[in-house]
Amino acid sequence: MLLALVRSVPASIAQCELTHLERLPIDLQLAARQHQQYVDALDALGCIVRKLPELPHLPDSVFVEDAAVVLDELAVITRPGAESRRDEISSVAEALGEYRALRFIEAPGTLDGGDVIVVGRRIFVGRSTRTNDEAIRQLGEITSSLGYDVQAVSFRGCLHLRSAATKLADDTVLLNPQWVSGNAFAGMKTIEIDAEEPSAANALEVGGSLLFPESYPRTLARLRARGYDIRTVDASELAKAEGALTCCSLIVSVESR
């Protein structure tokens, strides 16, 4: 069974961190409606959705992906690269502690979950403005005895590695080749996004199906032509906060405890 941890859009979302985007007005009610559609889609894909406590004063708290890296054996609670986001982690740790043993990234390490792609026993970690080499080293130390291989990945043009690439299946990643080289994922098949849709590389894989933003029809058609089972949602309002689909949930397999 899959559990999806989510958190509501906070009233303070307009004060969110922004790195690559110009600040645009965010319609809080529209963002909340779109978030509810996202939750409904997760439910339709068979997830049990669990809502974390609301954190109205933490502007980026809807982006729960950044607070943890969930593996079958344990969960690593991150130390987010943006100081404004550090108070988001305690409630995520509390919830995940019911399902997994917890380990923690310690200072001076900083890590955002959005920089981490787990494929089988391989963990790809983007070096970014949020994730440093010390945290990548700590993640390796925590996971190597479990048989995981942590590989640092360089990328550019976007905030997190998962904006440049995401896992579609255990042997396949979707990527924007302008932002990350396919060589980083040696041994795996790669599918490139349509060049006119640079932000289209963030798909959320849930139980063999994909959740994908309706705003990238060209890449969507490309994925459908490859036979993927895809459900679309409109995530345009949270995209103004530099958040994509994977950012808004932590998917936890609860049989594997």
Among 10, 109, 114, 126, binds ligand CIR (CB under 6 A): 114
For residues 37 and 236, what is the distance between their CA atoms, to the nearest angstrom? Answer: 12
Q: How many CB atoms lie within 10 A of CB 245?
A: 23
From the CB of 225, what's the least distance to ligand CIR, in Å? 27
Query: Is 160 a residue of the active site?
Result: yes
From the CB of 147, what's the least distance to ligand CIR, in Å? 26
Stretch that binds ligand CIR, among 35-43, 61-69, 116-124, 204-212 (CB under 6 A): 61-69
Q: Which is nearer to ligand CIR, 180 or 244 (CB)?
A: 244
For residues 119 and 166, what is the distance between their CA atoms, to the nearest angstrom? Answer: 10
Q: Which of 35, 158, 160, 248 is catalytic?
A: 160
Sign of CA dihedral 53, 57, 62, 66: negative
For residues 142 and 162, what is the distance between their CA atoms, to the nearest angstrom? Answer: 21
Among 17, 134, 192, 194, binds ligand CIR (CB under 6 A): 17
Q: Which is nearer to ligand CIR, 118 or 224 (CB)?
A: 118
Decide if residue 242 touches ligand CIR (CB under 6 A).
Answer: yes
Stretch that binds ligand CIR, among 36-44, 90-98, 206-214, 237-245 (CB under 6 A): 237-245
Decide if residue 82 touches ligand CIR (CB under 6 A).
Answer: yes
Among 3, 42, 159, 175, binds ligand CIR (CB under 6 A): 159
DSSP assignment of 30-46: HHHHHHHHHHHHHHHTT
Decide if residue 88 touches ligand CIR (CB under 6 A).
Answer: no
Tell the burial category of 28 from Cβ atoms under 10 Å away from its Cβ (0-12, 13-18, 19+).
Answer: middle
Sheet holding 48-51, edge to edge: 48-51, 2-6, 250-253
Query: Is 248 a residue of the active site?
Result: no
Number of residues that bind ligand CIR (CB under 6 A): 19
From the CB of 234, what's the least distance to ligand CIR, in Å? 17
Tell me the C-alpha to C-alpha distance, in Å, between residue 227 and each of 34, 126, 219: 26, 29, 13
Q: What share of the chain is helix, strand, coil (3-state, %, to 5)?
A: 30, 25, 45
Beta bridge partners of 104: 77
Q: Which is nearer to ligand CIR, 90 or 147 (CB)?
A: 90
Residues taking part in catalysis: 160, 247
Q: Which residues bind ligand CIR (CB under 6 A)?
A: 16-17, 19, 60, 63, 65-66, 82, 85, 114, 159-160, 162-163, 241-244, 247
